[in-house]
Chain A
Amino acid sequence: MKTLGRSELARMVALHLPRQGFVNLGIGAPNEVGDYLPADTDVMLHSENGILNIGPRPPKGEEDWDLINAGKIPITLAKGGAFFDSNLSFAMMRGGHLDIAVLGAFQVSEKGDIANWTTGESNGAPPGVGGAVDLAVGARTIWVMMDHTTKEGGPRIVRACTFPLTAARVVSRIFTNIAIVDVTPSGLVLDAVLEGVTPAEVQAVTGAELTPARSLRRIDMTGSVAG
């Protein structure tokens, strides 16, 4: 089956963000969404270590290790940006001030439960959670971006998560490398499918029932969506 590359998936998510608002991009793949925001976007990116309005990555050699994001990667501050302490940063989350958080996940359930901090099988390695739970509970809208299946081909969108939960009933939209799926009160709705992939093929690698949207959209290999 054809799949979107990681960068194209990030671009697809970026194209769906509103033109303005306060957005947190999770550590790892979601962070790449920032690279595909239009130059004239009014979106302000938040990072839980105490910064609002993250700018472009610094040129090589101009990194300042006191100016990093939650992934501990050097960043810059955009015009109108601000620094603050961790208490205020997490007040922004729990207080419902962040419009959207884009998170990676191991599993998402048909009810919008998300499991993204541990698989529970660490072979003795210590678990780490960071701000994942606070973010999943606090941001007003939770989007997930992830591969549609595990490396072994098993489903990640499931009826009920088998991995330890990060938060229950919070995810509203799932962007994967073959589809966009909306979590609705009446179940999962298949909103868009990658070109060359059929809805039946998406259903076959999904562990919960998908209802195709009345007007199914098409995703091309660059991550643009039409229809």
Chain B
Amino acid sequence: MRNVVVKDATAAVAGLKDGHTVMIGGFGNAGLPLATLRAIVETGVRDLTLISNNAGTVEDDLTLLFRARMVRKIICSYPRGAKAFTDQYRKGEVELELVPQGTFIERIRAGGAGLGGFLSPVGLGTDFETGKEKITAGGREYILELPLRADFTFVKGKLADTVGNVTYNMTARNHCPAMATAAETTVVEVDRIVEAGALDPESIVTPCIFVDRVFARA
């Protein structure tokens, strides 16, 4: 039977390379795969493009990657209050692509769903339409938003079974299910791993087809 369980965070991040694009789940610290982030720091990779809603704050979060100077660019919706990121942004050492949050997650969904983009009214008449194609459909104007994909997605779940089905905990679900669909390799850090068949199929939010590796947080 399929088994995607790896032994620890170090094994979970194997294959991550310089220049990769990486999605990291979470809204604030809810859904943030913290053990994975620590393991990424240990790899010493550089020039990452991060796709994550926030850019950390001042402690154990994406701050770890910025402090280790691993990030070339971040695509996010809300990097305020992110000390390490802000210092590097002010010096021009890291690039920011700011995306309204709903557009951000829908671009990821499009990336995972094989779509070439989608038409959104969000941002019309604002700075967020700059440089984007506008399309009129059904008599209404829209912005063409393009998909996002990544080499790796790292998210935090609650439970995974050995074949890779995943459940989430309350508002820690947030961006994780969409991100899980949009990468070449999807890695899920969970609280606990159970045998295949032990999860209620109705409770599974991310089916195993999207999941390449799972590991239990120590």
Q: Which residues of chain A have a CB within 8 Å of any CB of chain B?
A: 47-51, 64-70, 72, 77, 83-87, 89-90, 93-94, 124-134, 137-138, 164-168
Q: Compute how far the CA of A93 lies from the CA of B29 in the bound complex, rounded to whole angstroms.
A: 23
Determine which of A66, A129, A132, A167 lies in contact with B172 in the assembled complex, contact meaning CB atoms within 8 Å: A66
Q: Are A131 and B170 in contact (CB under 8 A)?
A: no
Q: Compute how far the CA of A86 lies from the CA of B31 in the bound complex, rounded to whole angstroms.
A: 12
Determine which of A77, A85, A126 lies in contact with B80 in the assembled complex, contact meaning CB atoms within 8 Å: A126
Q: Which residues of chain B have a CB within 8 Å of any CB of chain A?
A: 27-31, 55, 77-80, 82, 85-86, 89-90, 96, 98-103, 105-106, 109, 120-128, 168-178, 205
Q: Compute how far the CA of A34 lies from the CA of B213 in the bound complex, rounded to whole angstroms.
A: 41
Q: Compute how far the CA of A67 lies from the CA of B77 in the bound complex, rounded to whole angstroms.
A: 20
> Using Cβ atoms and an 8 Å threshold, which residues of chain A touch B99?
129
Q: Are A167 and B127 in contact (CB under 8 A)?
A: no
Q: Compute how far the CA of A65 lies from the CA of B30 in the bound complex, rounded to whole angstroms.
A: 6
> Using Cβ atoms and an 8 Å threshold, which residues of chain A touch B89?
124-126
- 8 closest cross-chain pairs (CB), A and B: A90-B102, A134-B102, A128-B80, A72-B28, A133-B100, A168-B125, A131-B101, A66-B172
Q: Are A87 and B178 in contact (CB under 8 A)?
A: yes
- Asked if A138 meets B170 with Cβ closer than 8 Å, knowing A72-B28, A86-B178, the reply is no
> Using Cβ atoms and an 8 Å threshold, which residues of chain B touch A129?
77-78, 98-101, 128
Q: Are A126 and B173 in contact (CB under 8 A)?
A: no
Q: Compute how far the CA of A87 lies from the CA of B182 in the bound complex, rounded to whole angstroms.
A: 13
In the complex, number of A-B residue pairs with CB atoms less than 8 Å apart: 138
A75 to chain B, nearest CB (A): 8
Q: Which of A47, A86, A130 has the most CB of B within 10 A?
A: A86
Q: Compute how far the CA of A67 lies from the CA of B82 in the bound complex, rounded to whole angstroms.
A: 21
Determine which of A47, A128, A131, A166 lies in contact with B79 in the assembled complex, contact meaning CB atoms within 8 Å: A128
Q: Are A133 and B173 in contact (CB under 8 A)?
A: no
- With A124-B90, A129-B78 known, 9 other A-B pairs at CB within 8 A are A48-B102, A50-B27, A50-B174, A87-B109, A94-B121, A126-B89, A164-B127, A165-B125, A168-B124
Determine which of A51, A77, A86, A168 lies in contact with B101 in the assembled complex, contact meaning CB atoms within 8 Å: A86
B57 to chain A, nearest CB (A): 9
Q: Are B171 and A68 in contact (CB under 8 A)?
A: yes
Q: Compute how far the CA of A71 lies from the CA of B12 in the bound complex, rounded to whole angstroms.
A: 31
Q: Are B100 and A131 in contact (CB under 8 A)?
A: yes
Q: Which of A47, A130, A132, A167 has the most CB of B within 10 A?
A: A130
Q: Compute how far the CA of A89 lies from the CA of B174 in the bound complex, rounded to whole angstroms.
A: 9
Q: Are A130 and B101 in contact (CB under 8 A)?
A: yes
B148 to chain A, nearest CB (A): 13
Q: Compute how far the CA of A86 lies from the CA of B174 in the bound complex, rounded to whole angstroms.
A: 5
